[in-house]
Amino acid sequence: MKKLFVITCFLLGGISLSLAQQTSPVWPGCENAEDVKKCFNQKLSQHVSDNYEYPQNEAGEYIRGKVTISFDINKEGDVVVNSIEGDKPEVKQAAREMINKIPKMKPGTLNGEPDSRTFTVPFNF
């Protein structure tokens, strides 16, 4: 009987979790998009190409590198950088500046309430 009760609780808990409705953050300009996630990804790609400024060394050569950036779009729709991993400090700083320029947006929701979303994205600059 205890096993049946535990299994029932587990199943009901799983069903309620699967019924939770989530929405993605909405980038400005994606409000009426048919596929908000696809629009978000396109806007992020465009933002990177428009806003990343390659750092230069003392000889004026561009410094290239790979970084992995973890950031949140919080409940207010603001971007918060959690971490940036990479080998070159100049590239990490340029990546941070670029991510911090992401515009405020409509936050994602969970069951109709604003909810923070975490993104982890690798970049090769």
Q: How far apart are the first and last CA of the chain?
A: 59
Task: Characterise 13 by phi-psi region: left (phi > 0), alpha (psi -120 to 50), beta (else).
Answer: alpha
pLDDT at 5: 44
Q: Indicate the average pLDDT of the chain.
A: 89
pLDDT at 19: 64
Which sequence spans correspond to the domains of the chain?
Answer: 2-124
pLDDT digits (tens, 9 = 90+) for 14-53: 544 456 799 999 999 999 999 999 999 999 999 999 999 9
- 3-state DSSP call for residue 48? helix
pLDDT digits (tens, 9 = 90+) for 61-109: 999 999 999 999 999 999 999 999 999 999 999 999 999 999 999 999 9
Q: In what order do the strands lie in the sheet with 22-23?
A: 22-23, 108-110, 113-115
* Higher pLDDT among residues 13 and 54, named by residue: 54
